[in-house]
């Protein structure tokens, strides 16, 4: 069932900065907390990223996906779904590339160098321009990510944990392409799922398709806009806040004759970091919901046959 009457909250972050404790900051952080508690997602306006940069990053995504398959499959990773994902029988419209440790020096340039071999026409210029564009875009999104997470922790009375929470995370950038349906009918672009990370921020070209499930099981469709980003809470943040934040199911449903491109920044717990709710999140009204866990171990279970069969892998893996 789909609903056109329920809309995601829209939150304006324009002119805000991380250390700006003004009335606007206080009001915005309350909106962020309420949105992530109720929907697990919201639409964000953030003018720190100019429209010219947004347009440029989408154009580079198109060029990356136009590269030969033999180039794209060089994007490999030891972690499931962190490297290149080609179109498959399950999601035949979907294709994506991943950049691990995206904000570490040289990682994005290494990624683009890998895809554009030296014998490719004008490869040096393409590598430089593409790398700088994605790097700049990702750094600005990381500022928004950290702003959101600081607001959540402040609103929950967890100020003393902010530095540890930010420093214990890393970033993955994922660029994605969804072909238009070949049948002329609506088709699945990406199956329903929850994100396993901390926070996801997605920017897309003006092609609708993203759908988010409300707590009562209705699908709502944010309208794509060149001025906004969609923010999701992931299961790691859900666990860390002892269930206070909702990690929503979401999917992509494609229709029409336009290709959808998107780029997502995923804040993820660093390897080995133990995800555990702070003691302030546990009391008589809020008993502990999950045992501490390391995300790599959880993902091993999630991608196992038992995890794939489970209706709620997170609860099955680490519930108390």
Residue 285 in any domain: the answer is: no
Q: Would you say residue 284 lies in a domain?
A: no
Are 297 and 198 in the same domain? no
pLDDT digits (tens, 9 = 90+) for 120-177: 777 788 889 999 999 999 999 999 999 999 999 999 999 999 999 999 999 999 999 9
Same domain, 177 and 307: no
Per-residue pLDDT, 49:
92
Range from 135-139, 180-184, 185-189, 215-219 carrying the lowest mean pLDDT: 180-184
Using a 10 angstrom Cβ sphere, with 0-12 exposed, 13-18 middle and 19 or more buried, the burial of residue 143 is middle
Residues in Cβ contact with 163 at an 8 Å cutoff, skipping those fewer than 6 apart: none
CA-wise closest residue to 166 among 179, 178, 154: 154
pLDDT value at 105 more than 60: yes
Q: Where residue 24 sits, what CATH number does that domain have?
A: 2.60.120.330
Residue 1: pLDDT band (50, 70, 90) is very low
User: Could you give the C-alpha distances from 38 to 32, 34, 254, in angstroms and in order?
Assistant: 10, 6, 26
Span 274-282, average pLDDT: 96
Residue 3 has pLDDT above 60, yes or no: no
206 and 318 fall within a common domain: no
Task: Tell me, yes or no, whether 309 lies in a domain.
Answer: yes
Q: Based on the domain organization, do 243 and 183 belong to the same domain?
A: yes
How far is C-alpha 226 from the chain's CA centre? 17
Radius of gyration, CA atoms only, the chain:
19
Q: Is the residue at 299 inside a domain?
A: yes
> Does 114 share its domain with 246?
yes
Asked whether residue 19 carries a pLDDT value surpassing 80, the answer given is no
Residue 229 and residue 298 share a domain: no
Residue 72's SS3 state is helix
Sign of the CA dihedral with 293 first, then 295, 300, and 301 last: positive
Phi-psi region of 40 (alpha: psi -120 to 50; beta: other; left: phi over 0): left
Mean pLDDT of the chain: 92
Does any domain span residue 5?
no
246 falls in which pLDDT band (50, 70, 90)? very high
Is it the case that residue 316 has pLDDT exceeding 50?
Answer: yes
234 and 300 co-located in one domain:
no
Same domain, 302 and 256: no
Average confidence (pLDDT) over 229-244: 97
Q: Please, which residues bridge with residue 98 across strands?
A: 174
Higher pLDDT pick, 227 / 110: 110
Q: Is residue 86 domain-shared with residue 183, that is, in the same domain? A: yes
203/306 same-domain check: no
Mean pLDDT of 294-308: 92
Whether residue 202 has pLDDT greater than 70: yes
Residues in the chain: 320
Based on the fold, state whether residues 78 and 188 are members of the same structural domain. Answer: yes
Residue 1 lies in a domain: no
Domain membership of residue 3 (yes or no) is no
User: Residue 318 is part of which domain span?
Assistant: 290-320
The reply to whether 2 falls in a domain is: no
Q: Are residues 146 and 270 in the same domain?
A: yes
pTM of this structure: 0.94
User: Which residue in 72, 129, 140 sits closest to 102, CA to CA?
Assistant: 140
Total count of domains within the chain: 2
- What is the distance between the alpha carbons of residues 69 and 85, in angstroms, rounded to a whole number? 11
Cα within 13 Å of Cα(157), Cβ side:
6
CB 120 within 8 A of CB 126: yes
């Amino acid at each position: 069932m789909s609903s056109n009457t329920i809309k995601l909250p829209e939150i304006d972050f324009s002119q805000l900065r991380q250390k700006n404790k003004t009335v606007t900051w206080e009001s915005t952080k309350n909106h962020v907390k309420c949105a992530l508690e109720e929907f697990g997602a919201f639409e964000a306006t953030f003018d720190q990223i100019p429209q010219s940069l947004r347009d440029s990053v989408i154009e580079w995504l198109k060029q990356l996906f136009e590269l030969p398959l033999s180039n794209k499959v060089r994007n490999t990773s030891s972690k499931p779904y962190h490297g290149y994902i080609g179109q498959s029988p399950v999601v035949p419209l979907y294709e994506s590339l991943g950049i691990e440790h995206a904000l570490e020096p040289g990682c994005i340039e290494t990624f683009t160098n890998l895809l554009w071999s030296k014998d490719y026409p004008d490869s040096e210029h393409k590598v430089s321009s593409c790398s700088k564009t994605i790097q700049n875009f990702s750094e600005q999104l990381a500022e928004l990510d950290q702003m959101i997470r600081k607001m959540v922790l402040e609103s929950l009375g967890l100020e003393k944990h902010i530095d540890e929470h930010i420093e214990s995370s890393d970033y993955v950038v994922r660029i994605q392409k969804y072909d238009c349906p070949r049948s002329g009918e609506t088709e699945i672009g990406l199956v329903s799922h929850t994100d396993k990370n901390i926070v996801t921020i997605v920017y897309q070209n003006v092609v609708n398709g993203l759908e988010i499930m409300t707590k009562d099981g209705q699908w709502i469709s944010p309208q794509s806009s060149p001025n906004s980003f969609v923010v999701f809470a992931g299961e790691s943040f859900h666990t860390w806040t002892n269930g206070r934040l909702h990690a929503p199911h979401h999917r992509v449903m494609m229709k029409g004759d336009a290709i959808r491109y998107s780029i997502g920044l995923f804040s993820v717990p660093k390897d080995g970091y133990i995800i555990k709710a702070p003691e302030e999140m546990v009391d008589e009204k809020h008993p502990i919901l999950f045992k501490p866990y390391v995300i790599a171990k959880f993902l091993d279970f999630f991608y196992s046959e038992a995890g794939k069969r489970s209706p709620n892998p997170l609860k099955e893996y680490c519930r108390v």
